[in-house]
Structure 1
Amino acid sequence: MFDSKLLKLALVAGALAASTSVIRAETIDATIVAGHPPVFRWVKHASQTFIPTVNKALEGSGHEIKWDEQYGGSLSKVGDELEATEEGLAQIGVISSVFDPAKLSLQNVSYYTPFVSSDVALVSNTINDLHFSNPNMRVTWEENGLEYLGAPSAIDDYLLMTTFPVNSIDDLKGKKIGAPGPAVNWLGGTGAVGVAGNLTTYYNEIKTGVYDGVIVFATAALPGKLHEVAPYITKVGFGAQYAGSLAANKEWFDEQPEEVQKALRAGGEAFRDAYIADLDAASEAALKTLAEQGATITEVDDEFRQKWVAGMDNVAKTWAAQVDGEGKAGTEILKAYMDAIRAAGGKPARDWDQE
C-alpha cells in the first residue's frame, strides 16, 4: 500500500534540496588587471563602477564572482594587459589600446586623426558604436583571444606640457617630447623629437631631462603632478581620444552562463556612463587647479593650430593603407569614424579621409 507519509517526506526533502541549491550560489573566480594604478579614472571605475554593477546584476541569479583586483603593475605593467588577459593570467583586463597599436590597430583610429573633436562623449560613443555596427572592430579583439565588453575609456583634450614656454611652432625644434603610442605622430612637421612614453614614467623622465615635455591630458596631468616639472601648458586642440576598453579572456567568457555574460556587459555600460560623467566634471576642474598650483596655461589661436595641422603628413591615410595591407579594414573604419563625427556636428580641423 502506498505510504503518504513517505511521499510527503520525499517532497519536503526535494524542496529543501532545491532551495539549498538556489541559496548556494556558484562562485566564479575572476582576476581583473590594469597596469595603471587606481588614481587614474579608467582603473578607478573598473573597481568602483564595473565590479559593483556586475555584482548587482548577478544577485539572485545563482552565480557570484569572487574578484581579485590587480592594479598598478602588480600583475601586468602598462601595455601588457592584453597579453595577460589573452594568456589567462587575468580573466578581465583594463586594456589600453593606445599601447597596442599593432594588435588593436582599428581601435586606434582616433589617435591617427588628431584635431578632429574635443568632445569626449562624441569620440567615446562613436568608437563604442562602431564596435557594434561594424564587426571588423570586434574581430581585432577576437584575434587576440579577447571579448569586447564595452566600457570605453576616452581621454579629454590632449595638451602640450613643457619645461619651456611655447609661443610658436619653432620653439619645439629639437625638443624631446614624450607621447603615448601613435600620438608621437602628432609632432610631425614641428621639428620636435617624439619619444614613446606613458603616464607612469613622465614625471621622472621630465625631471631628469630625458624629455623636455609631454603630450598629456589635464585629468592625468594633475594627479601625476606633471606641472611640478613641466609648468607650461599649451592648449593646442589635439582633441579627445578613445584609449581603451575592458575586455575578457574570450575562452573564459564563452564558458560563462548567459546571466554572467549579460552582467559583464551591463557592467561595461555602467562604466561608460559613469566614466564620461566623471570626466566631464573633472577636466575643467583639473585645468583650474593646475593654474592655481602655478602652471602657466595658454591656448593657441586658429592660425597656430592650422599651421600645425597643415604641417603634418596625412598620418591617417598612411595608417589606413598600412592596416589595409594587413588584411584589416583600415580605410573603411577611417571613413566610418570621420563620417560619424561630422554627422554628429563635429568640425574636424582636417578631413583626413577626404584627401
Structure 2
Amino acid sequence: MTAIKTIACTLGATAAILLTGAAQAQTVKMTAIAGHPPALPWVKLADEFFIPEVDKRLAAAGSKTKFEWTKAWGGTAVKLGSESGAVKDGLAELAFVSTIFEAPKFPLQNVSYVAPFMTDDIAVIAKVIKTMQAKIPAMSDAWTKNNMVFLGGTGLDSYHLFTKTPINKLEDLNGKKINAPGPSANWVKGTGAVAVAGSLQTYYNDIQTGVTEGALTFATGAFPIKLTEVAPHITKVNYGAQFAGALAMSKRVYDKLPADAKKIVMEVGAEYDAKLSALLTATSVSLMQKMVEGGAKVRELSPAERKQWAAVLPNVALPWAKDLDAKGLPGTQVLNEFVAQIRAAGVQFPRDWSKE
C-alpha cells in the first residue's frame, strides 16, 4: 500500500512538473486565413500590424507564450465566406471573417446592410456595432457559437456605384445588371436595376465580359482591383459605411492562453480596429482622387437626389427584423438600437428604416 502511495505521489509530482513546464513556456501554432488578398487593407493590417505587434509585445513582456504563424491569405487555404467554418473545424486559428458573406451565421451583424444611407463615417459604424455586440448577447453569441473570439471589426468606407456608362439620374439604372454582394442586393430593388451576386474577386471580369454593367462597392476595394479600368463612371451615392467583418481568433486556442497573452491579443485587436477605421477613412479619400486622376468620372448625388434614391427602395429592414424575431433572434431590437445609436452619434440620415 505504501509502495502504491509512493508511486502515486511520484507520478503526481511528475505530472505537476510537466504541467508547470507547459505553463511556463508554450509555442502555439497559428494558421491565419482570409479569403481576400493582402492588397486589401483589412488583410494587409492583419498581416503587417496585428501579427507582428502581438509577437513583439509578447516578447517585450517576457511572456512564455510564443505564436508560430502560417499565413494563408487570399483564399489559399479556404475560399471567401468559409473562414468561420475553417476556424470552427480547427483548420485555422486566426481569420478575417467577412460577415457580409456569412450572413446566415452572423445575421445580426449585417444590420447596416439592410439599413443603408446612414453615415459615411467608418469609425461610427465600427463603434456602433462593437457597442451593440457588448449590449445585446445574441450578437456576441454569434462569435461564440462559431468557436471564435472577436478581436476587432471593420466598417468599410461608404459604398458607391461604379459603372461602364454614366448614371445621370435614377432612371438610368433601369434594366442595368449591377454586381451587389449579399445583402447589398437590396439597394438596387425598386431602382429598375438587377442585382447580380459577386465579390471584389469577380467584379472586374464580370464587367469586362458583360455579365454586369457595374458594381456597388467602395473606394478601398475598387482601387486595388483597378475597377475603374472597366467601370470608369463613379456615382457617389453614399450608401454609407458598412460593418463587413472582423478579425477573430479560435476560442479553443484563446481559452487556453495565459492571462498575459489574452490581454495582449485583445489590446492589439482593439488597436487593429481603430487603426483600420482611420486607415480606411484616409485611404478612401486618396484612392478616390487617384481614380479621378486616372480618368474616372465622378458625379455626386445632391442631398435631394440621395433622399429620392433612399425613398424608392423597399424597406427590407423591417421584414428582416421580423423574420429574425420569428427565429428567436432580437431582430427588431437590433434594428431599433442601430438607428438610435447612429442618431445619437449626431448623424442626420434621409430615411429611418425602423419606421414603416
TM-score (norm 2): 0.91
* Within-5 A mapping of 1:1-355: 25-59=25-59, 60-149=62-151, 151-355=152-356
Q: Is residue 118–residue 237 contact of structure 1 (8 Å, CA) maintained in 2?
A: yes
Deviations 1:209-229 (A, max 9, x none): 111000010111111100000
Counterpart residue identity of residue 26, structure 1: Q
SS at match of 1:230: coil
The alignment partner of 1:233 has SS state of: strand
2:110–2:244 Cα contact (<8 Å) kept: yes
Give secondary structure in 1 for the equivalent of 2:354.
helix
Q: How far, CA to CA, are the matches of 1:165 and 1:208 in structure 2?
A: 18
Extract unaligned runs of 5+ from structure 2: 1-16
Using the TM superposition, give the Cα deviation of residue 260 of structure 1 relative to its aligned residue in structure 2, in angstroms: 2.3
* Structure 1 residue 248, shift from structure 2 partner: 1.8
SS in 1 for 2:133: helix
1:96 Cα offset (Å) = 0.3
2:141 is matched by which residue type in structure 1? V
Matches of 2:339 and 2:95 in 1, distance apart? Answer: 28
Report the 3-state secondary structure (helix = DSSP H, G, I; strand = E; otherwise coil) of the residue aligned with 2:190. Answer: coil
Report Cα offsets for 1:34-93 as digits up to 9, x if no partner: 010000001011111211222133221111111111101110111111111111110111
Code of the aligned partner of 2:226: K
Structure 2 Cα separation of the partners of residues 217 and 308 of structure 1: 18
Instruction: Report Cα offsets for 1:309-345 as digits up to 9, x if no partner.
Output: 1111111111111111221111111111111110110
Q: Please say if residues 339 and 354 of structure 2, whose CA atoms lie closer than 8 Å, have aligned partners that are also in contact.
A: yes
Shift of 1:196: 1.6
Residue type of the partner of 1:249? S
Q: Which amino acid in structure 1 is aligned with residue 45 of structure 2?
A: H
> Taking every aligned residue pair, what percent have the same amino acid on both sides?
43
Q: Name the CA distance, whole Å, in 2 between partners of 1:194 and 1:306.
A: 21
RMSD: 1.8
Per-residue CA distance 1:187-214 (angstroms, 9 max, x = gap): 0110100012110111111100111000
CA distance in 1, matches of 2:293, 2:344: 38
1:130-186 deviation digits (Å, cap 9, x = unpaired) = 22222221011122222222x112111101000111011111111110012100000
AA aligned to 2:238 is G
Conserved 8 A contact 1:114-1:238: yes
CA distance in 2, matches of 1:132, 1:172: 40
Aligned to 2:11: none
Task: Return the offset for 1:246.
Answer: 1.1
The answer to whether the 8 A contact 2:93-2:249 is kept is yes
Shift of 1:263: 2.1
**Structure 1 residues 252-261 or 214-223, which shifts more?**
252-261
Distance 2:65 2:148 in 1: 22
Decide whether the 8 Å contact of 1:57 with 1:266 is kept in 2.
Answer: no
Letter in 1 for 2:40: F
SS of match in other structure, 1:72? coil
**Equivalent AA in structure 2 for residue 276 of structure 1:** S
Measure, in 2, the Cα distance between the counterparts of 1:222 and 1:304.
26
Q: Give me the whole-angstrom Cα distance separating, in 2, the residues matched to 1:323 and 1:174.
A: 31
Q: How far, CA to CA, are the matches of 1:32 and 1:43 in structure 2?
A: 10
Distance in 2 (alpha carbons) for counterparts of 1:320 and 1:301: 30
Q: Within 2, Cα distance between the matches of 1:71 and 1:325?
A: 37
CA distance in 2, matches of 1:282, 1:321: 37
> What secondary structure, in the 3-state scheme, does the structure 2 residue paired with 1:352 have?
coil
- Structure 1 window deviating more from structure 2 (250-259 vs 311-320): it is 250-259
- One-letter amino acid of the counterpart of residue 183, structure 1: S
Determine the C-alpha separation between the residues in 2 that align with 1:135 and 1:186. Answer: 28
Matches of 1:263 and 1:133, distance apart in 2: 23
Residues 275-324 of structure 1 show CA distances to partners (whole Å, capped at 9, x for unaligned) of 12211211111111000001000011223212211111111111111111
